[in-house]
């Protein structure tokens, strides 16, 4: 594959189409009449209570105090990195009175991430059609669509992680240019300030890309690991400051790690000490649960992704000698490991949260993109008439796009548009007694996040 660093601007039409399709859905979803739908309190529908209401409430509470009086500007529950809360607070201090300005900023962050993601897929596979196919898959997943206007970590991590991966790949392709590695380091650092979820997954992507480019370097790997370490240290210092000491900070951080990973409780700590979520039944059925979580957020089963990866490898073996095909795709197992890393480490979190299958989105998108690349290459080799080849591939791409979009994108966008034109009946006010409220409006105990 050739190094097409200069071709990204030539494919502006693909980038614009992807961003416009995503933004149309996001702008329809951000309308108050759609944001307030009862179903949005589900973890599979963007969890409006967790991702918008609570973040805005925290931001308003912080902004109502003098700046120096707030000890946890960029922390969630005084223990987890949350730069997104600090950004929301700044919006409120600057005059925002609703979530809308912050949500519009979230859409901008998603757009930045989409452009960066498309760009590094294009560099990796040297095919605009394949990169477009991968991105169209991504923007029709429940993960992207239902988190499109979140105030939580999703847009921040999506933008910073993909900018980091893009800059890192540019570094590998242009080692003589000293700019790209510091950019990647800084973007990864920002990602680590927006929750814990992408520390390991993004780092494994850096390793995978080095393997893919045959440029595995201990020095480079250690340097990128130092970015995550710096992010952790900044968070740890904030936790110590917010909680009044290093000892308490250590207890809080080990508490959440023990609980979120294997549901262990440390004596004297506060994370739900009287409840347990991991029992033998959950442990025995954990592989199936992870597969369910991934399908819920990515729209397709892990079996489908396994078949796509198999087709990719088979077609690659037909296109080039097996040794060459292996060199091109030996990075793929590392990518998949990165995509599964959160679920492999944080069992309790995965069991509790329906949305926990979203953290490996990049791995499944790479598989889809690789399969699209090999299909395009195979078709091009079989059909010598260029216009016929292009027409058939375009027809196939449109059919696949419609198949993917018909599950979530089209029906929900149609519903959102209808709600904007003809608003449904308002939700039951919060002060109505539980006995008279509809079942969906009654309060349900929610596990702490």
In a domain, 131, yes or no: yes
In a domain, 215, yes or no: yes
Which residues, 6+ apart, have CB-to-CB distance to 202 below 8 Å? 161, 164, 165, 188, 191, 338
In a domain, 438, yes or no: no
Q: What's the pLDDT score for residue 448? A: 42
Q: C-alpha angle with apex 197: 76 to 137, nearest 5 degrees? A: 125
In a domain, 274, yes or no: yes
Contact predicate 185/311, CB 8 Å = no
* Mean predicted lDDT score pLDDT of the chain: 88
Q: How far are the Cα atoms of 74, 142, 299, 410 from residue 405, in angstroms, in the given order?
A: 36, 10, 10, 6
Summarize pLDDT for 139-192 with one digit per residue, the tens. Answer: 999 999 999 999 999 999 999 999 999 999 999 999 888 899 999 999 999 999
Question: Which domain range does residue 344 map to?
Answer: 8-425
Of 23-32, 87-96, 344-353, 427-436, the one with minimum mean pLDDT is 427-436
In a domain, 435, yes or no: no
Domain tally, the chain: 1
In a domain, 159, yes or no: yes
In a domain, 443, yes or no: no
Region 21-40 average pLDDT: 93
Residue 199 has pLDDT above 70, yes or no: yes
**pLDDT confidence band for 440 (50 / 70 / 90):** very low
Residue 443 has pLDDT above 50, yes or no: no
In a domain, 52, yes or no: yes
Render 181-209 in DSSP notation, one character per residue.
HHHHHHHHHHHHTB-STTHHHHHHHHHHH
Burial classification of residue 384, based on how many CB atoms lie within 10 Å of its CB (0-12 exposed, 13-18 middle, 19 or more buried)? exposed
Q: What's the pLDDT score for residue 395? A: 65
* Of residues 211, 102, 204, 119, the one with CA closest to residue 154: 102
CA distance 17 to 117: 14
């Amino acid at each position: 594959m050739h190094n097409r660093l200069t071709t990204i601007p030539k494919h502006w039409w693909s980038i614009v189409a992807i961003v416009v399709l995503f933004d149309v859905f996001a702008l329809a979803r951000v309308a108050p009449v759609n944001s307030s739908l009862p179903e949005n309190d589900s973890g599979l529908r963007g969890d409006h209570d967790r991702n918008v209401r609570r973040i805005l409430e925290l931001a308003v509470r912080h902004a109502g105090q003098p700046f120096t009086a707030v000890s946890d500007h960029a922390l969630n529950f005084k223990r987890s990195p949350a730069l997104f809360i600090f950004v929301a607070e700044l919006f409120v201090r600057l005059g925002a009175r609703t979530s809308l300005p912050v949500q519009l900023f979230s859409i901008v962050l998603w757009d930045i991430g989409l452009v960066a993601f498309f760009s590094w897929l294009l560099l990796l596979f040297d095919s605009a059609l394949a990169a477009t196919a991968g991105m169209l898959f991504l923007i029709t997943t429940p993960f992207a669509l239902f988190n499109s206007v979140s105030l939580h970590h999703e847009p921040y991590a999506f933008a910073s992680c993909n900018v980091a991966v893009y800059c890192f790949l540019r570094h590998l392709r242009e080692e003589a240019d000293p700019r790209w590695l510091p950019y990647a380091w800084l973007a990864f650092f920002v990602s680590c300030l927006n929750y814990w979820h992408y520390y390991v997954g993004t780092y494994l992507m850096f390793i995978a890309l080095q393997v893919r480019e045959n440029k595995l370097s201990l020095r480079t790997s250690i340097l990128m690991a130092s970015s995550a370490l710096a992010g952790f240290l900044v968070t740890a210092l904030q936790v110590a400051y917010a909680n009044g000491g290093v000892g308490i900070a250590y207890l809080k951080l080990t508490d959440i790690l023990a609980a979120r990973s294997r549901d262990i409780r440390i004596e004297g700590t506060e994370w739900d000490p009287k409840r347990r979520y991991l029992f033998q039944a959950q442990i025995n059925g954990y592989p199936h649960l992870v597969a369910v979580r991934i399908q819920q957020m990515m729209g397709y089963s892990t079996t489908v992704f396994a078949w796509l990866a198999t087709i990719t490898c088979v077609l690659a073996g037909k296109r080039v000698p097996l040794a060459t095909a292996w060199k091109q795709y030996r990075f793929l197992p590392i990518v998949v490991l990165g995509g599964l890393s959160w679920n492999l480490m944080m069992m309790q979190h995965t069991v509790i949260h329906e949305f926990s299958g979203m953290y490996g989105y990049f791995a499944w998108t790479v598989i889809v993109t690789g399969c699209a690349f090999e299909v395009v290459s195979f078709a091009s080799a079989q059909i010598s008439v260029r216009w016929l080849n292009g027409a058939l591939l375009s027809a196939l791409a449109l059919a696949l796009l419609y198949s993917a979009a018909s599950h979530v994108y089209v029906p929900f966008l149609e519903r959102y548009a209808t709600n904007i034109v003809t608003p449904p009946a308002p939700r039951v006010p919060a002060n109505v007694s539980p006995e008279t409220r509809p079942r969906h409006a009654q309060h349900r105990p929610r596990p702490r996040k």
